[in-house]
Each structure stands twice: as structure tokens, then as C-alpha cells.
Structure 1
Amino acid sequence: MEKAAGDEDAGEAALDEITSPAFVVREQGQVVAAAGYRAWPSRTAHIGVLTAPAVRGQGLARVTGSATVAHALAAGLLPQWRARPPASRRVAASLGFEELGFQLSIEII
């Protein structure tokens, strides 16, 4: 699925960095949507969600994202959804997240 989604979307979701269980939706035995979180300092759960391009717009990001948020809350963590792409921002808003600011990342070479 990450290959089909492309490097940019897969990198944004960063599912290879999650420390939680992965919450997935399968169709015909293939994972078509996945989400999880990476535990960050201050008991924060940084959520990542990825949906295969062929099945986007069917609510699968909301399903996997919701399961991830529920798991984080049950673990006593504060879910954080960094949503840059507009579609990700819409999913986050549908789950009750509110935009509070922006994140700036700097790579020192």
C-alpha cells in the first residue's frame, strides 16, 4: 500500500515509525488503509494515517484514524494529528480535531 500511495504520502503518514499497534482495513486480503501513532514526549500520540489511492474517499482513513485515537486515549495519551494535505485535514476535522497552529520542521545538514 505504501508503494501505491507514493513516497510523499507514505512519508507524511510515517507508518514505519509507529509505536502503537497498526489499525488496518483489508480488502481481498490486502491492506488498503492503515493508521497508528508514535508516542512522543509529554504523553503525546502523533497519529499517522495512510489510504491506498484506489480506495480514497470511502471513509477508510476515518475508520482507521478513529481506532487509533481511541487506542491513544485509552492509553492516557493526547492524540495529535499533524495534517498538512487538505484531505488529511478534512479527516482530522471529521474526528473532532481542531487546528491550533502550525508545525515547523528544520533539517540541519
Structure 2
Amino acid sequence: MQNITIEEVKERLDKGEQLNLLDVREPHEREEFSIGGTHIPLGQVMMQADALENLKNQEVIVYCRSGNRSGQAALILETMGFTNTKNLSGGMMAWQSKFGS
């Protein structure tokens, strides 16, 4: 697992790049603020990983509130054969602090 910065992801999104984003926060957190992507709460990642099967060899950027749960999710995905997982450093807290909501 690698880390990726909020600045890099924001720049890529602003350029219109299609990113494989995975939000592992709880539903109420996602309702408050989201940068998009697939939503699978951390506790369900193992059970629902087949929904991401087509991304096994592609870059998957995982995010959460602070970067802790997404780091765990990225490691889980790696153990399931995903080859290019990235954890969004600082998560949505850092994103909102720097870029607003």
C-alpha cells in the first residue's frame, strides 16, 4: 500500500481524470461530505470485495475520515490480491481543512 496526498487526488479530479475511489466511512459520514466513488464501509470490505473485483489490477484510492480506516481497508484489499491500493493521507478531515466542503 502506498499513500497519496489530498493535493494529488484533487489535482487529478480537477483535470477530469476518472479515479477508482473507495469510501470506507459509515453512511452518515458520507452524507455529510463526499468526493465520490464507491461506498463500502470498512466492516463490509471483505464481504463486498467482489464488487471491486474488476479493479484488482488498477489503482484504487481508498479514503475515510482521517486516513486510518482507509489504511486498514487498503491492506485488506492487498491481502485479497489487489495490486495497486493507495491510502488518501489525512482523509476527508484534511481535504475539508484545505479545500473546504
TM exceeds 0.5? no
Q: TM-score range by the shorter chain?
A: 0.3 to 0.5
Structure-2-length-normalised TM-score: 0.37
Structure showing greater Rg: 1
Structure-1-length-normalised TM-score: 0.35
